Amino acid sequence: MSKNILHKSEGVLAVKIARKVIENVLDGKDPEDDLPSVPVIFSEKRGAFVTLEKEGVLRGCIGYPYPVLPLKEVLVKSAIAAAFEDPRFFPIEKEDFSKITVEVTTLTLPEEVTGAFTTYSNQIQIGKHGLMAEYGENRGLLLPQVATEQGWDVIEFLCQTCIKAEMTPMMWKYGAKIYKFEGQIYHETEPGGAIVEGEE
């Protein structure tokens, strides 16, 4: 198991933090009031998303794809944004929150794919890895589930990641840096209920 992977107890804690932050805001408290203490992995910079669903329908999803802030800070900011700042939805109100489940997707630290580009297909696993492409100021990222949902093979996944970064599709062959990462999903089985790993 990668040292970047969260243990189940840490994934459960991430969901609890996200829920508590939203509850605090709804109660008029400081978002970080009375949050549980966290292990050292929450101090690592990493990407994460908070997703909210009401009765199985998306109600908000905001996150940080790149590892620019410590995980705990990302959870706090993403939970607030998903609940109250997602432009696709009205802000959540207190009476609604009892019907909403919380899900957290954490991303492992990006690992550069190295060697000849002809070996990339052996280093990237569809369904397991997400990709990030970087060249100069251009940067784009696609989560692991995107390739699975679209039915892409590794080559198409590489091309589409470059397109997301506003490059030509084949730039992964011609100088763009490619990074791979993994995503872990933890979600409540019911509002405020048990927290499990994996997609529903």
The verdict on residue 28 lying in a domain is: yes
Q: Where are the beta strands (DSSP E) in 43-157?
A: 48-54, 57-64, 100-107, 111-112, 129-135, 138-142
pLDDT at residue 48 is higher than 80 = yes
Q: Are residues 126 and 176 in the same domain?
A: yes
Q: Please determine, for residue 10, whether its predicted confidence score (pLDDT) is greater than 50.
A: yes
Residue carrying structure tokens 């970080």: 32
Looking at residue 178, its pLDDT comes to 98
pLDDT over 70 percentage in the chain: 98
Residue at 3 is within a domain: no
Q: Give the C-alpha separation, 125 to 107, whole Å.
A: 15
Average pLDDT value for residue range 77-83: 98
Distance CA 103, CA 148 (A): 20
* Of residues 156 and 199, more confidently modeled: 156
Q: Structural domain of residue 52, as residue ranges? A: 8-107+183-197
Report whether pLDDT(1) > 60: no
Whether pLDDT at 180 is above 50 = yes
Q: What is the pLDDT of residue 146?
A: 87
Task: Average the pLDDT over 22-37 and give the result.
Answer: 96
The CATH number for 124's domain is 3.30.1490.150
Cβ count within 10 A of residue 20:
21
What pLDDT is stored for residue 56 in this prediction? 86
Give the other-Cβ count within 10 Å of 148's Cβ.
14
First CA to last CA across the chain, in angstroms? 22
C-alpha pair distances (Å), 30 with each of 3, 61, 74, 197: 32, 21, 16, 29
Q: Is the pLDDT of residue 30 over 90?
A: yes
Report the chain's mean pLDDT, rounded to a whole number.
93
Give me the CATH number covering residue 80. 3.30.700.20
Q: What is the pLDDT averaged over residues 150-173?
A: 97
> What's residue 67's pLDDT?
87
Of 69-73, 89-93, 112-116, 196-200, minimum mean pLDDT range: 196-200
Q: What is the total count of domains within the chain?
A: 2
- How many helices (H) and strands (E) in the chain? 6, 8
Q: Which residues of 46-70 are buried (b: 16+ CB within 10 A; e: fewer)?
A: bbbbbbbbbeeeebbbbbbbebebb
pLDDT of residue 3: 55
